[in-house]
């Protein structure tokens, strides 16, 4: 008996037992028409993704709402969202879907090439031909073909002190939101420490491991890569910096220093940039990165 037949049988039995097919019953007292939320007068809906979840508290008649809001300010978790019957309220459900969609979009969209040009970054691409290959073949996101290798070598020259790289990674939105400001702050910081910042390379379909190939190709003392983090429901715009002293193919992951959570609500792009500049300065001094740096 397949699933369809079982379903038909059960339905028939219910009809026989009850005399009629069950229909959901809503008692009059339980029925509350949905409250009208405020809608903008010009016919435009409010952008629900603009609401700061840390300041949104939806429980009706709370015992101590301000106290809960105080706690909420410490976490972006979806707490204190109230309920409609046994379910989320509509706004919570819609916001979840909006955030999920933003996360997916930022994985599947591309960093605008005009954005790359505007910032004066040099464009390169890994061995991946498209997003599908990028997602399914991490190994190919770490290496460059000969043509791109030549661009990288021409851009950085031989043995630069530092090679600055921006990679799209898993979130193009993160790069468009943070990388330009962060990179400007890094460059200014390096100059303040007397380190020539050199040009900036942009890598499409980029994995962190691409640093190692760049290290081998240029002999750079430090490679610093800003890369989009795998997006989540909290933010689709979080960026990390991976900074490695003398990276080369086969270098252990423990030799990388990472600064994560660079976004509007985390460490801001400019302040992270200043921190990274100092980090690079320290690495050049101590000739180490990752767990060796401490």
Q: How far apart are CA 182 and CA 179, in angstroms?
A: 5
The answer to whether residue 50 forms part of the interface with other proteins (CB under 8 A) is: no
The answer to whether residue 56 forms part of the interface with other proteins (CB under 8 A) is: no
Applying CB under 8 A, among 67, 93, 129, 150 the residue interacting with other proteins is 67
Cβ at position 132, least distance to other proteins in Å: 29
The answer to whether residue 64 forms part of the interface with other proteins (CB under 8 A) is: yes
The answer to whether residue 170 forms part of the interface with other proteins (CB under 8 A) is: no
Size of interface with other proteins, in residues (CB under 8 A): 30
**How many residues in the chain?**
294
| Cβ distance to other proteins smaller for residue 91 or 270 | 270
Which residues in 247-266 contact other proteins (CB under 8 A)?
258-261, 264, 266
Give the chain's radius of gyration (CA, Å).
26
H or E, element range at 229 = none
In order of 11, 79, 245, the CA distances from 149 in angstroms are 66, 49, 20
Residue 229 marked in a binding site: yes
Applying CB under 8 A, among 126, 155, 235, 267 the residue interacting with other proteins is 267
Q: How big is the CA angle at 83 (ends 79 and 86), to the nearest 5 degrees?
A: 120
For residue 93, what is the DSSP state? H
Q: How far apart are CA 19 and CA 192, in angstroms?
A: 84
Residue 234 marked in a binding site: no
The answer to whether residue 192 forms part of the interface with other proteins (CB under 8 A) is: yes
Cβ at position 283, least distance to other proteins in Å: 15
Q: Which residue ranges are tagged as binding site?
A: 208, 229
């Amino acid at each position: 008996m397949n699933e369809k037949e079982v379903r038909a049988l059960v339905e028939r039995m219910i009809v026989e037992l009850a005399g009629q097919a069950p229909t959901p019953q809503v008692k009059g007292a339980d029925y509350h028409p949905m409250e009208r939320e405020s809608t903008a007068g010009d016919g435009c809906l409010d952008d629900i993704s603009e609401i700061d979840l840390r300041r949104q508290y939806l429980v009706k008649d709370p015992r101590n709402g301000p106290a809960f809001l105080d706690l909420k300010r410490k976490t972006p978790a979806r707490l204190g969202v109230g309920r409609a019957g046994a379910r989320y309220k509509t706004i919570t459900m819609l916001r979840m879907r909006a955030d999920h969609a933003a996360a997916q979009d930022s994985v599947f969209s591309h960093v605008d090439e005009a954005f790359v040009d505007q910032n004066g970054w040099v464009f390169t691409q890994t061995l991946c031909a498209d997003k599908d290959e990028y997602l399914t073949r991490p190994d190919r996101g770490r290496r460059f073909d000969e043509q791109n290798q030549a661009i990288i070598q021409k851009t950085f020259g031989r043995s630069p002190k530092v090679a600055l790289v921006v990679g799209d990674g898993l979130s193009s939105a993160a790069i468009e939101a943070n990388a330009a400001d962060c990179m400007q702050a890094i460059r200014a910081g390096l100059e303040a420490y007397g380190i020539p910042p050199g040009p900036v390379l942009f890598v499409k379909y980029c994995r962190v491991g691409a640093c190692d190939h760049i290290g081998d190709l240029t002999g750079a003392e430090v490679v610093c890569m800003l890369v989009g983090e795998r997006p989540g429901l909290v933010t689709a715009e979080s960026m990390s910096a991976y900074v490695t002293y003398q990276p080369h193919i086969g270098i252990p992951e423990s030799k990388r220093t990472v600064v994560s959570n660079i976004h509007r609500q985390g460490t801001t792009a400019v302040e992270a940039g200043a921190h990274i500049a100092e980090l690079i300065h320290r690495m050049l001094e101590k000739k180490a990165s990752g767990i060796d740096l401490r």
